[in-house]
Structure 1
Amino acid sequence: MKNIMLSTVAAITVLVATTASAADKEECKAVRMSDLGWTDIALTNTTAEILLKALGYEPTQTLLALNVTFDSLKRHDIDVFLGNWRPVQDIDYKAYFDDGSVIPLVTNLEGAKYTLAVPKYVSDEGVKSFDDLAAHGDKFGYKIYGIEPGSNKPLVDMLAAKAHGFNEDWELVESSEAAMLAQVRRAVGNKEWIIFLGWQPHPMNVNMEMTYLSGGDAEFGPNFGGATVRTIVRKGYPEDCPNATKFFTNLKFDITYENTGMNMIMTDGMETTDAAKKMMQEHPEKVAEWLDGVTTIDGKPGLDAVKAELGIGQ
């Protein structure tokens, strides 16, 4: 009897595991991801998109501001967001986590950074902390360069509170990642002083000499904006789409992988899709990890489908 019971339990366990891997609802075929216009998310989103298509899904990316991304997850207009940077987003979007509107799935990147930075020639002149900035307002033109509106809230709040000695003369210039970096390149080319929002992973860390500023713990967290990045999903997604959820849970990156892929896009001029495919072709071991226990939309082995469709993971 004991052996029969154990066999029954084992059979049920296998059945549940098998069912879970292929039990995505029909609506799960469309996987809706948010894109902020950041190159790191473009790389990770496109990596997911390529693999999901090979698995029979129909993924899409929609360009949204950060605040709109959280609202869209809450309204079930978006399913997945791969760019939940912590701790910087913890305070501003705490309510979404508290009420269960969004579900943290996995930390997809460790060792990231996200805070204000200056060119090295500026830090060599003694500007190494947030508290050093206000005294040199004339050299900086009383401007701080950020990215798209909705992603700069720590800086907006900092200037509104007149923290670190800032006053009403200071202005936050909001644009986009590409526009901000173009401004930084112009300033560096002319050896002008500039303050900008920097982060890692990003080719900026290898393409120019820059210094992350200390003293911004209140705005961006300790350790020079030391961060982790999580994948978050809408409420109900893990229950509705267990196979897709398994895939996104497996989908983890590292700093070197993202820096290399982003450099292909931003420095070498490769299309994002080509860069994502090339990175996967060069790292088949990661592809195998990402597809471990994942099936196609109709329940067939996921890695086999990717190999057949894309030649990735050979």
Structure 2
Amino acid sequence: MKRISPVQRIIFCTLFAVLLAATSQAAEKTIRFASVSWTGVTIKTELAVHLLQTLGYKTSNVMVSVPIVYNALATNEADIFLGNWMPSMQSIAGPYFEKGTVVQYVANMPGAKYTLAVPSYVYEGGLKDFSDIVKYADRLGHKIYGIEEGNDGNEIIQAMIDKNMFDLKGFTLVSSSEQGMLSQVQAFGRDQKWIVFLGWSPHYMNEIIDMKYLSGSQADTFGDNDGTATVYTNIRKGFDQEEPNVALFLKNLTFPVSMINQIMGTMHKDTSLQPKDAALAWLRQHPEIYERWLDGVKTADGKPALPVVAKTMNAQ
């Protein structure tokens, strides 16, 4: 048997240490989600994070504004975003898609809605279309209510005002949080005061507020189909090649609008419920959904994913 020289031993030990470090680093690699503070996106993201953790992956989820999400994906500071509402995010996300730094990977929720809305009593009072807003400027206090600053919906509203679209010059965009805006709508509703606000579906607002969506949206506002939207999963460039198993999971990960509406409704009735817990409770009643999500997917160590997840679901 040939003896190994001291020099060779050092080389072999060094190579082994490097290989071990690389293997350990790969095993500890974090799947990084970026999200925004919208209830629907929070539900989807926390559910995906939980399922990947169940499969043995290390994950993280950072909540930021929409522009920061795309910068993080483009600069390899995040891997996945489940809340790309289109076409309303075109002005923010489109340049990243064109450059190829962010990939519009898969539609995770078709049939959504994102546009301006009013309480039903306002709609019945004559404000039914974007072109009607200016007619009732005084009753509206020359205000349109949005959500957090930097949000794509806010940017669309501000552009409508700046460009005097629909004769909206002189209106003011009121930025707030999602909950702040909805509280304002409900407060106005108690006194039958008039208000125009940013609305979307799925969301429990559709259950707790008697509301109507306005017609008249154009291609350069909320889309030319009266705000009908598709929500996409976005990934950073190259992620699907680096993590093909997670990428398959993301391809399978689609959400019926009714699912998110029902989970949100449950959360609204029981405010102590966290998004992940409400979502898991819904999934335990609809196992066919997570069975489809896990079709062909493996755990981090290469075992079939479905039995692992099903075991944890049944144990809860």
> Hey, what does 1:219 align to over in structure 2?
221
Once the two structures are TM-superposed, the CA of residue 33 in structure 1 deviates from its matched residue by 1.1
Task: For 2:80, give the aligned amino acid.
Answer: V
2:284 pairs with 1:281: yes
Once the two structures are TM-superposed, the CA of residue 27 in structure 1 deviates from its matched residue by 6.6
2:241 pairs with 1:239: yes
Once the two structures are TM-superposed, the CA of residue 288 in structure 1 deviates from its matched residue by 0.5
> Hey, what does 2:32 align to over in structure 1?
32
Q: Does structure 1 retain, via aligned residues, the 8 Å contact 2:156–2:222? A: yes
> Hey, what does 1:207 align to over in structure 2?
208
Once the two structures are TM-superposed, the CA of residue 308 in structure 1 deviates from its matched residue by 2.6
Structure 2: gaps spanning 5 or more residues: 1-24
1:156-175 aligned within 5 A: 156-168=158-170, 170-175=171-176
1:175-194 aligned within 5 A: 175-194=176-195
Q: Provide the alpha-carbon RMSD of the alignment.
A: 1.7
The 3-state SS of whatever aligns with 1:179 is helix
Write the deviation string for residues 271-301 of structure 1: whole angstroms up to 9, x where unpaired: 1121011011011001100001111111011
**Residues in 1 aligned to 2:299 and 2:93: alpha-carbon distance in whole angstroms:** 33
* 1:126 to 1:247, Cα distance in 2 relative to 1, 3 A: same
TM-score, normalised via structure 2 length: 0.88
Task: For 1:50, give the aligned amino acid.
Answer: H
Q: Does structure 1 retain, via aligned residues, the 8 Å contact 2:284–2:313? A: no
1:71-150 aligned within 5 A: 71-150=71-150
Identity within the alignment, %: 39
**Residues in 2 aligned to 1:201 and 1:273: alpha-carbon distance in whole angstroms:** 17
Once the two structures are TM-superposed, the CA of residue 307 in structure 1 deviates from its matched residue by 2.1
The 3-state SS of whatever aligns with 2:104 is strand
Write the deviation string for residues 50-105 of structure 1: whole angstroms up to 9, x where unpaired: 11111001222111100110111001111100011111112332110011010121
2:312 pairs with 1:309: yes
List structure 1 runs of 4+ shifted beyond 6 angstroms.
Answer: none
The 3-state SS of whatever aligns with 2:108 is strand
**Residues in 1 aligned to 2:53 and 2:94: alpha-carbon distance in whole angstroms:** 33
**Residues in 2 aligned to 1:154 and 1:267: alpha-carbon distance in whole angstroms:** 32
> Hey, what does 2:253 align to over in structure 1?
251
Structure 1: gaps spanning 5 or more residues: 1-24
> Hey, what does 1:13 align to over in structure 2?
none
> Hey, what does 1:298 align to over in structure 2?
301
- Count of residue correspondences: 289
Larger radius of gyration: 2
**Residues in 1 aligned to 2:36 and 2:269: alpha-carbon distance in whole angstroms:** 20
Once the two structures are TM-superposed, the CA of residue 149 in structure 1 deviates from its matched residue by 1.1
Once the two structures are TM-superposed, the CA of residue 309 in structure 1 deviates from its matched residue by 3.0
Write the deviation string for residues 246-290 of structure 1: whole angstroms up to 9, x where unpaired: 111100011110100111223321211210110110110011000
**Residues in 2 aligned to 1:264 and 1:58: alpha-carbon distance in whole angstroms:** 29
- Larger relative contact order (CA 8 Å, sep ≥ 6): 1
